[in-house]
Amino acid sequence: MAKKLVIVESPAKARTLSKILGRSYSIKASLGHVRDLPRKNLGVDIDKNFTPKYVTPQGKRKIVKEIREAASKASSIYLATDPDREGEAISWHLVNAAKLDKNKATIHRIAFHEITKEAIERAFKNPLTINMNLVNAQQARRILDRLVGYKLSPLLWKKVQRGLSAGRVQSVAVRIIVDREQEIQDFKPEEYWTIEVELAPPEEMEAKFMAKLTALADGTKLAIHNKERADEITADLENAEYAVKSVQTKQLSRRPAPAFITSTLQQEAWRKMHFTAKRTMAIAQQLYEGLPLGEKGATGLITYMRTDSTNVAASAITEVRDFIKENYGNAFLPAKPRYFTKKTRLAQEAHEAIRPTKIYRRPEQIKSFLTTEQLKLYGLIWKRMVASQMSPALYRITSAQIKANLTKQKGYLLKVSSSTLKFPGFMTIYSEGRDEEKQDGFVALPKLEVNDKLSYQGIFPEQHFTQPPLRYTEATLIKALEQKGIGRPSTYAPIISIIQDREYVYKTDGKFYPHELGVIVSGILTKHFAKIVDPNFTAQMEKQLDAIAEGKQEWISLLKDFYFPFEETLHKASSNIDKIDMTKATDEICPKCGRPMVIKVGRFGKFLACSGYPECKTTMPYIIKTGIPCPQCNSELVQRINKKRKIFYGCSNYPNCKFATSYKPIPQACPNCGGLMVSYRKVWAKCLSCGHKIKLSELEEKESEGAVA
């Protein structure tokens, strides 16, 4: 009997489906796209309405052949690729590459947002056809990106250096980071002062509290910009009489955040666990595709992880409300279900938020089936979903205004607030992370009544300076991209990876900095291709792609409207951009001719070349010295880059000594055994010999104490 053929993208998804569907189905994995534009040429016929010339890569030909053979024996074919534009395009390419439409078997497109028995059965009962609006939106994006990359990159090779590339969306992300760095460099700090007064009720001297100066007695806001003014006000306040002017108490309710969408999951995973966007999506993919759960078989643990919708299925809301009632009681359950609405621009992505497929599947119950990272991310998703349907947290906020009286004509106003958590609500299990630590400014307050006299205890003037804007982290960069309408749920992680891989930006202590190369390339693009790196233009382009996906715009017209003005700009820029010399002088001397060596950047990164080129063509690897001895042969350790362009540290005496480590060596020796210490997880130092760990700050203190002794 002929089997029904189901085609998915990944082997993991195939394994999960095979356990759900049984032996009457044959399941094949395409391993992603089976066709794409060619790597070695443009692959787009501009003169024929931008017709793409798709090819099947060498590595995918065997897979396509196997799928074609399986399809020829199948009674029906089900295309079960992911439920988004990319998945729709993969299905369309499969039909064309494997010639599935040449078989007698009926072709169905099925879509599901979670890999569970119920969802799969529902999808098979309601088969679809390939949505060409989604396919065309994906084609338009792919061709736009190819046009920009293949036309701009050669210009950058000619004007800056070989090997460079420019992406339509990635270039905007680089510009955002470069612009932020320029803001920081241009920032001029301004001085300001704050003054706090310590007060207490005369009868309760132990109940001290700090009140902050805010205004003059008439309510005029007070800004103090220099020490002279601060000293003048401090002298006034030291001699003032203090009394409570007003007391206000109110209840504040804090509502939970909605279940995750792609961007908020990536942001929160960075804030709470320091997972990169790329790592977060890889782990989420594993949770979505399914894991074996003992004898019960396999199931997907979360819904589809590429989404910008906060909508949650009614059945899932009912389930989580039942769970809350059973495990936390009625006090933690709102009278009505909570619905979160987010206007999505994407019709095809207006499905569900990211949630567990079964809320009763607690993280602790399945921890033996998950890796540490899978458990952490699943726990985060589970807690966020449960919390989203719980009662709000309730606070009692007490604010007091205090008058500092000097004379009838002169005085000041101070303010103090206290916050008391009256009911924890959703915060019992989850509280949203923050991009930066913020001080709420709440203090513990004694009972205060209007006209109560207060006793002066002390004064604390403090000088401050305004701070420049913060550099972007993974969380704040994704947030900025989302707010500006740049990219889509499936693109945030690749954008961040690509701009680092191309060495336009780098990350230190979790913050993004632009490389010199990134600044130069971004400057050229901003000056000569303003539209390409304009966030508003890029966001508008995304909206047009959305319109294609919704069937409201024709995709060829979008390509024409973009390309021909772009081509004209390209010709002008080719004449107007001056060649930029990226070489840098060094103290190294050429071993062959004695002339200075210079740093150049090639396809595989930096290298040393003789300044006498072309007469002398000597080149040498570019290495960064650390000044730290090798633990094996005592030669110097140097920083190198491997074939995957990852930094590592190895012995300068290579190949005679093959010592290497991916951790950054530090000059301090191990206090336990004297071995080589390396920087480990940002705040720790670890010995490679005995494994001893110590905080970097403690190690530096020990070194200073030794130096003093």
Residues forming the active site:
304
> Helix or strand or coil: residue 681?
coil
What is the rounded (10 degree) CA torsion for 341, 346, 349, 355? -30
As a whole number of angstroms, the distance between CA 542 and CA 101 comes to 32
Strand partners, 511: 508
As a whole number of angstroms, the distance between CA 279 and CA 307 comes to 17
As a whole number of angstroms, the distance between CA 473 and CA 510 comes to 6
Helices 132-159 and 516-528: crossing angle in degrees, nearest 10, is 110
Q: Give the residue from 202, 199, 218, 201 showing the smallest Cα distance to 210.
A: 199
What is the rounded (10 degree) CA torsion for 216, 218, 221, 224? -20
Q: Are 660 and 650 in contact (CB under 8 A)?
A: yes
699 Cβ contact list (under 8 Å, min separation 6): 666, 668, 671, 677, 685
As a whole number of angstroms, the distance between CA 254 and CA 382 comes to 20
Q: Which residue has the tokens 């309510």?
A: 219
Token pair for residue 180?
Answer: 């932020």
As a whole number of angstroms, the distance between CA 309 and CA 41 comes to 37
- Tell me how far apart the 2 most distant CA atoms of the chain are, in Å: 101
CA 147 to chain centre: 27
> Helix or strand or coil: residue 463?
strand
What is the secondary structure of 551-580 as a DSSP string? TSS-HHHHHHHHHHHHHHHHHHHHHHPPP-
In 3-66, DSSP assigns E strands to 4-8, 25-29, 44-45, 51-52
Checking DSSP bridges between strand 647-651 and strand 636-641, what pairing results, if any?
antiparallel
Q: Give the residue from 542, 550, 438 showing the smallest Cα distance to 482.
A: 542
Helices 372-388 and 314-328: crossing angle in degrees, nearest 10, is 90
Q: Which helix (H) or strand (E) holds 83?
A: none
The reply to whether omega before 614 is within 30° of 0 (cis) is: yes
As a whole number of angstroms, the distance between CA 687 and CA 443 comes to 43
Q: Are 129 and 91 in contact (CB under 8 A)?
A: no
Q: Give the residue from 674, 612, 624 showing the smallest Cα distance to 649.
A: 624
Q: Are 539 and 203 in contact (CB under 8 A)?
A: no
DSSP 469: P
As a whole number of angstroms, the distance between CA 543 and CA 229 comes to 53
Q: Are 665 and 686 in contact (CB under 8 A)?
A: no
Token pair for residue 94?
Answer: 């499969």
Write the single-letter amino acid at 641.
Answer: I
Q: Which residue has the tokens 């070194």?
A: 703
Q: Which residue has the tokens 């966001």?
A: 539
Strand partners, 506: 513
Token pair for residue 368?
Answer: 């033996």
As a whole number of angstroms, the distance between CA 663 and CA 649 comes to 7
Q: Are 134 and 79 in contact (CB under 8 A)?
A: no
Looking from the CA of 303 toward its CB, the CA atoms found within 13 Å total 32
As a whole number of angstroms, the distance between CA 44 and CA 51 comes to 6
